[in-house]
Structure 1
Amino acid sequence: MDIALHFFDEYVGDRLYAALDNPFAHHAPVAASKLSFDASSPSAALSSLSAYLGTLPSLSSLPRDHIVRQSLSLYGITYIGIFLLYFSVATFSYYYIFDHRMKHHPRYLPDQVRKEIMFSLDAFPVLDLLTLPWFVGDVRGHSMLYDSVAEGPFGQRGGALPWVYMAFSAALFLWFTDFAIYWVHRWLHIPFLYKRLHKPHHKWIIPTPFASHAFHPVDGYLQSVPYHLACYMFPIHKYLFIGLFSFVNFWSIFIHDSDMLCGHPLEHYVNGPAHHTLHHIYFTCNYGQYFCWADKFFSSFRIPAKGDDPLLAVLAAIEKKKADAAPAERATALESSTGGEGSEGGEGASDSGIEFGSEEEGSAKTEAAAVADAPAAGRPRREGLRARK
């Protein structure tokens, strides 16, 4: 975060803080020892307090490395960053990866996308405040982040060894955070914690990418702790850390696209969108973040199967809707056909019954085609899956 903080101060922060001033600075300063608070005279007490506050430094006088200025800046940077990342990546995933036919699923909520977005926006301010101490610690040098290869482990030896360590630290970061988040996530499913923290995220049975950050802020914070803790446990290059930290945020969004791609060899090793879709549907499986090994080892793994595809429920719901509507449509058609005179009306009724059958079939085909042709951009693989079924 020190990189982001540097550029913020260079192009925004210095000008911003220079424009701010201590609102009490116009009062004549007094020493704290001479403060007097007379309970019988509130106005005098307030005047005395204002005079003391006037002795405090204004924000414009705070140097770049002052902890108050750093904290305020980092909070703003983090909030803007997560806001931009969330809306850019989730919007892309929603329009180009998410299968919009899933919005016909019986458990897809009315106006769900708006609700997911509003829930996320409500969580961001508190979540950013909870994570702020980690970022302040990073920029003040309390973590094990290092700036250059020469400053890292084995950096003085030169050669390939420092680069080998960088690759090792990336693998260690993924292994450590995956294992830690597995247990944080699984503990959040303990009834006591689930009801109070994690249940809001499972409101989205059929999630869209906008559900990725739609959680209780404490839930989101607890699942983010392993990422922040990693750079306090072992040395890691700060640019590598930024890349990995960005990757896990992208990953968190993409695994919420409700995709059920099955039959890929990596599904035994990588905890992808299909695995996380099953977690949202069945709750007690696939707690991992990127990999499947922890779920397999601790007996919570459920491999994606074609029969688990929630799109099957979408198609079943449409068939049920057609079946429920058929009697009413048939009665309307018969009533309309008997509106003629004499035997011609009777013949009309008979003919209408035959005609209705073909109209119903045509209507059914039209509705099925509409669902099949619903936006599913970027999904030739999903259509291939349907063919294999």
Structure 2
Amino acid sequence: MDLVLSICDDYALDKFWAAVLPASAFASSPSAAFLQASLNGSSLPVITSQPGKWSQLLSYIPHPPLPSAHELAPIAPSLASAWPRDYILRQFTSLFVLTLLGIHFLYFSFAWLSYRYIFNHEMMKHPRFLKNQVKLEIQHSLKAFPGMTLLTLPWFIAEVRGHSKLYDNVDEYGWGYLAFSTLWFLVFTDFGIYWIHRWEHHRLWYKWLHKPHHKWIVPTPFASHAFHPLDGYLQSIPYHAFIYLFPLHRLLYLSLFVFVNMWSILIHDSDMITGHPLETIINGPAHHTLHHLYFTVNYGQYFTWADRMGDSYRQPVSELDPMKEVQAHLAKQEKQALGKQQ
């Protein structure tokens, strides 16, 4: 997120924060007066003895010490705001808004594409498909996003403030490590999510923590983020913890972050296509469909090995396809309709 924040600061947020919280508004501070004079091109600052109402209002807002006169030449765009780039309250607020915007964009773009072009809409005739389920999934997701974002922000703040092991130059660790770190990220996070996910099914907290996500017995892609906020956050911990334990290229981490969200959407399309060559290795949509149908199988995220190790693996087979229940349900309705006509 530090890369995203830096780009947004360069192109928009420096100007935004300078307009919303201008350093010049804190007119009671001598350094603010010097800053105002420098920004206006004046040779001498003018300090007003009676600050305006806006300045009085802003004076109650916490801010770091404003730059002194000798630090104001040349003026950096970030100095025009009383909240410079490295101020933690600015970072917290900016990251909160950017993360919310980002997750909404990923959710509505990729979930809609999956729903439109991959999801079998015949599945909506399943007897356990809820009335107005798509609307309910979206509403549940939108309610969860702010809470999940707030819980995640400490990880992002620590990353932005330089406490992670993210790096910029591929030569620092080499191309071999770049390839290895990609696979290791998937293995590490898959293993962590498996145990967190399985722990969430414990009877002591399942009802209030994870059961809201299992409300969707036959999910659509819009159910991918329809969690209790704490549930969604807990399952994301391995992704965030990885970069504090192992070096990872900054752009690769951003790409994997997007991939994680896309994968979560993909595996919630209720697909039960079986017989492909990687079926016993990759924990795909068919496996996760069985998890929603039977609850205590296929906890993994990407691979099947953790479920095999934990004795919770169930092989997708065509006989378990929920579409068979749809067909049986439709046949029953048709038979009942014919009976009424007779």
Bin the TM-score by the shorter chain.
0.7 to 0.9
Of the candidates 78, 84, 103, which is equivalent to residue 63 of structure 1? 84
The corresponding residue for 2:98 is 77
Equivalent residue for 1:135, pick from 153, 156, 167 = 156
Distance 1:127 1:268 in 2: 32
Alignment partner, residue 200 of structure 2: 188
Secondary structure class of the residue paired with 1:223: helix
- CA shift, 1:60, in A, is 2.8
Aligned partners of 2:117, 2:305: CA distance in 1, in Å? 30
Q: What's the CA shift string for 1:93-126, capped at 9, x where partnerless?
A: 0010000000000000000000000000000011
**Contact persistence 2:218–2:292 (CA under 8 A):** yes
Distance 1:122 1:195 in 2: 18
Deviations 1:150-195 (CA, angstroms, capped at 9, x unpaired): 3x33xxxxxxxx1111111111111100000000000000011211
Q: Which of structure 1's runs of 4+ aligned residues deviate more than 2 A?
A: 25-29, 50-60
Please give the alpha-carbon distance, in whole angstroms, between the structure 2 residues aligned to 1:328 and 1:313: 23
Distance in 2 between residues matched to 1:325 and 1:52, nearest whole Å: 70
The within-5 A match list for 1:229-308 is 229-308=241-320
- Residue 327 of structure 1: CA displacement? 2.3
8 Å CA contact retained: 1:255, 1:273:
yes
- Contact residue 71 and residue 136 of structure 1 kept, 8 A: yes
Residues 57-66 or 12-21, more deviating: 57-66
Specify whether residues 266 and 71 from structure 1 end up closer, same or farther in structure 2 by C-alpha distance, changes over 3 A only: same
Query: Match for 2:145 among 106, 113, 124?
Result: 124
Q: Tell me whether 235-244 or 83-92 shows the greater mean CA deviation.
A: 235-244
Query: What is the TM-score of this pair, normalised by structure 2?
Result: 0.84
1:1-389 aligned at under 5 Å gives the runs 1-21=1-21, 53-54=59-60, 56-57=62-63, 60-150=81-171, 152-153=172-173, 162-330=174-342
* Corresponding residue for residue 48 of structure 2: none
Q: Quick check: 2:220–2:268 contact (8 Å CA) kept in 1?
A: yes
Paired residues of 1:27 and 1:51 also in contact (CA < 8 A): no
Distance, in Å, in 1 between the alignment partners of 2:286 and 2:59 is 57
Number of aligned residues: 300
SS of alignment partner, residue 64 of structure 1: coil
Letter of the aligned partner of 1:87 in structure 2?
Answer: F
Measure the CA separation in 2 of the matches of 1:52 and 1:18. Answer: 13
- 1:8-28 CA distance string (max 9 Å, x none): 111210121112138xx6897
User: Structure 1: how far apart are the matches of 2:59 and 2:122?
Assistant: 60
Is the CA contact (8 Å cut-off) linking 2:21 and 2:83 kept in structure 1? no
Q: Secondary structure at the match of 2:130?
A: coil
Q: CA RMSD in A?
A: 2.0
**Amino acid across the alignment from 2:85:** R
Q: CA, structure 1 residues 26+178, in 2 after alignment: closer, same or farther (shift >3 Å)?
A: closer
- Determine the C-alpha separation between the residues in 1 that align with 2:234 and 2:187: 17
Give 3-state SS (helix, strand or coil) of 1:262's partner: coil
**Equivalents in 2 of 1:56, 1:297: separation in Å?**
52
CA drift at 1:205? 0.2
User: Relative to structure 1, is the Cα distance of residues 52 and 175 closer, same or farther in structure 2, using a 3 angstrom cutoff?
Assistant: closer
Amino acid at match of 1:140: R
Inter-partner Cα distance in structure 2 for 1:83 and 1:56: 30
Structure-1-length-normalised TM-score: 0.74
TM-superposed deviation, 1:314:
0.5
Deviation for aligned residue 1:52: 11
- Equivalent pair of 1:28/1:51 in contact (CA under 8 Å): no
Cα distance in 2 for residues equivalent to 1:282 and 1:56: 52
Q: In structure 1, how many angstroms separate the alpha carbons of the residues matched to 2:60 and 2:336?
A: 74
1:226-258 per-residue CA deviation (whole Å, 9 max, x = no partner) reads 000000011111111111111111100000000
- Matches of 1:313 and 1:56, distance apart in 2: 60
CA drift of 1:323 comes to 1.5
Unaligned runs of 5+ in 1: 30-49, 154-161, 331-389
Q: Percent of pairs identical after alignment? A: 56
- The answer to whether the 8 A contact 2:26-2:58 is kept is no
Give ranges in structure 2 of 5+ residues lacking alignment: 30-55, 65-79
The letter of the residue matching 2:99 is: T
* Whole-Å separation in 2 of the counterparts to 1:271 and 1:299: 14
Question: Where is the helix percentage greater, Structure 1 or Structure 2?
Answer: 1
| Cα distance between partner residues in 1 of 2:237 and 2:202 | 19
Aligned CA distance change for structure 1 residues 27 and 286 (closer, same or farther; 3 Å)? same
Using the alignment, how far apart are the partners of 1:54 and 1:203 within structure 2?
46
Distance (Å, rounded) in 1 between the aligned partners of 2:272 and 2:326: 13
Q: Check the 8 A contact 1:278/1:286 in 2, yes or no.
A: yes
